Chain A
Amino acid sequence: MILAIVIVLAAAIALIGIFLLGFPQALQLWSKASIANRIQPLDVEAFRNLIDPAEREYLRRRLQPAEFREVQRKRLRATLAYVQVASQNASALVKMAEAALNASDPHTAEAARQLIDNAILLRRNAFVAQVRIRAAIAWPDSNTAAAPILTKYLQLNGSAMLLGRLQNPSVPVRISSN
């Protein structure tokens, strides 16, 4: 009887999980405004500085070991926040590219697919990086290897720009306010 109750509860949770996980995505419940709100600006230079091994070595040489670990933990927490923002932006870009996936123009559809592919790759790498960063916070002397996230993020921006350009080739796409 206990086993029956456990299985019934598990089945009910699974059913709710299927609805909660599947429907918001498949029914496109995210409005354009909510997608836009999900995108957060990312300071690429600051991110680059945080993951720079030379910077880390410099701090290690200049600071006492205990002081270095304290500073490194703070840097790792900041890196973690950057990785999370990059991952969140990637998922928002997937939503934006989804609309162009069924475009009549094959180049636009391919660019949208490429953008989604890059965004998925970034999210995959970000997941691994987050695990490694969390481990490194506990042991700050270890290496975090978050550099691929930045590379993928910049690649993702390239794909996003390409798609924007293909969606309207007559007007140049601006990527920065500078």
Chain B
Amino acid sequence: MLQAHSFFWNYLWISPNAYLLLLGILLIFKGIGRQRPAFATFAVLSSLGGLCLYAADVLPSVSPVNFWRVDWITLSLESILKFAAIGEAFSRLFNRYSSISKLGKYLVSAVGAILVFVATMLAAFSSGDSTVRLISGVHLLDLTVFAIECGLILFIYALAAYFRIPWDRHSFGTLLGFGVSSCVYLATSAIVTNANPSAYQRTLFDFSSMATYHVTVLIWFYFFLVPGKNRDKKPPKDDSDRRNSNPPASPGSGSKEDEASLQEWNRELERLIHQ
């Protein structure tokens, strides 16, 4: 079962890409693609790239050298789109609040620059897994991209947590998916490029990477297509409804829920201002 080109291996390569392509198309049709153009583009093009890479792997007419060339192209394209999608999620999250948007951009730029330096150092000190430059280059590029991605996402989560910035569902899902996949891929590519694993171990790492990708796509499906909890009551339809929902102040006229909510507000504000 855990062999290259087994049914399970084929499934894990094709299905996440097919699901991601489906997600990209659904996002475009549902109008979410207009709000999240970078992520929708990433979903469509990255999945197509993955399927092209699969075709290049199984088609006998494609030589090994050409397979690695296709891998280079898809990886480069995917990396650019991925960082665009992360940037989009970050902007959506931080641009809503003027007090943090500028500072957030400066901090992320500074951390990004540090991460690029660190990732370059990691690549420079990595031994590489092949004497063929084309192959080892792909894995070193993997290592560099995932190190930057992983650090950047962790920093965005830390920044949002420190300032208690309320997450929107799409940004959280986007970054969670990229975060989980980049951490697993970073660990995998570190072992592949530095620990000289056997062919069988490499196949196992391929399986773990493909399974992680599958989980990542399911995370994106969940956060983009499953609606979140609606925290607010339905808006009143007209003026008469509005009057009914907000009756004039008189003892006992407000709903119990409103009263409880208001009492909570009052209690907390009284605690807050203790003069």
Q: Is the CB of A120 within 8 A of B100?
A: yes
- Chain A residues in 8 Å Cβ range of B233: 104
CB distance from A96 to the nearest CB of B (A): 7
Q: Are B254 and A117 in contact (CB under 8 A)?
A: no
Minimum C-beta distance from A112 to chain B (A): 9
Asked if residues B122 and A3 are in contact (CB atoms below 8 Å), the reply is yes
B125 interface hit (Cβ, 8 Å): yes
Q: Report how many residues on chain B are interfacial, defined by Cβ distance under 8 Å.
A: 68
With known contacts A95-B164, A117-B99, A167-B261, A44–B235 Cβ distance under 8 A: no
Contact status A42-B187, CB under 8 Å: no
A124 pairs with B103, CB closer than 8 A: yes
CB within 8 Å for A124 and B190 given contacts A11-B150, A98-B166, A178-B275: no
Q: Mark B155-199, 1 if CB is under 8 A from A, else 0.
A: 001101111111100001001100110011011001101110000
Contacts of B193 in A (CB 8 A): 4
Q: Binary interface profile of A, 39-55, with partner B (CB < 8 Å = 1, else 0)?
A: 11111110000000000
CA A172 to CA B266, docked complex, whole Å: 10
Is chain A's binding surface mostly helix, strand, loop or mixed?
helix
Chain A contacts with B in 89-132, Cβ cutoff 8 A: 89-96, 98-105, 113, 116-121, 123-124, 127
B46 to chain A, nearest CB (A): 21
Chain A residues lying within 8 Å of B232, measured Cβ to Cβ, are 100, 102-104
Of the candidate stretches B17-25, B59-67, B243-251, the one touching chain A is B243-251
B249's contact among A43, A167, A170, by CB below 8 Å, is which?
Answer: A170
Chain A residues with Cβ below 8 Å from B230 are: 102
B265 touches A8 (CB 8 A): no
A176 sits at the interface (CB 8 A): yes
| Residues of chain B with a CB closer than 8 A to A173's CB | 262, 265-266, 269
A163 to chain B, nearest CB (A): 8
Choice from B194, B236, B258 contacting A1 with Cβ under 8 Å: B194
Known: A17-B157, A123-B163. A168 touches B262 (CB 8 A): yes
Partner of A21, one of B161, B186, B267: B161
For A81, what are the chain B residues with a Cβ–Cβ distance below 8 Å? none
B217-275 CB contacts (< 8 Å) to partner A: 230-236, 246-249, 253-254, 258-259, 261-262, 264-275
Tell me, rounded to whole Å, the shortest Cβ–Cβ distance linking A13 to chain B: 9
How far apart sit A3 and B100, CA to CA, in the bound complex (Å)? Answer: 36
**B272 touches which one: A1, A8, A41 (CB < 8 A)?**
A41
CB of B89 within 8 A of chain A?
A: no
Given contacts A3-B122, A11-B150, contact A96 B268 (CB under 8 A): yes
Main secondary structure, interface of B, reads helix
- Within 8 Å CB of A18, what residues of B? 153-154, 157, 176, 179-180, 183
B157 touches A21 (CB 8 A): yes
Assign chain A's interface to a size class.
35 or more
B29 at the interface (CB under 8 A from A): no
A-B contact list, 26 entries, CB within 8 Å? A1-B195, A4-B194, A4-B195, A7-B147, A11-B183, A15-B184, A21-B157, A21-B161, A22-B160, A22-B172, A39-B268, A43-B274, A102-B232, A104-B232, A117-B98, A120-B100, A123-B162, A123-B164, A157-B269, A160-B272, A167-B265, A173-B265, A174-B266, A174-B270, A175-B270, A176-B273
Contacts A4-B194, A25-B166, A45-B275 supplied; 14 other A-B pairs, CB < 8 Å: A7-B122, A7-B143, A8-B190, A11-B184, A12-B183, A15-B179, A21-B161, A36-B268, A39-B268, A100-B232, A116-B97, A124-B103, A164-B266, A170-B249
Residues of chain A whose beta carbon lies under 8 Å from any beta carbon of chain B: 1, 3-4, 7-8, 10-12, 14-15, 17-18, 21-22, 25-26, 32, 36, 39-45, 89-96, 98-105, 113, 116-121, 123-124, 127, 157, 160-161, 164, 167-178
Nearest first, the 10 A-B pairs at minimum CB distance are A104-B235, A41-B274, A7-B190, A121-B99, A4-B194, A15-B183, A164-B265, A11-B187, A21-B157, A94-B164
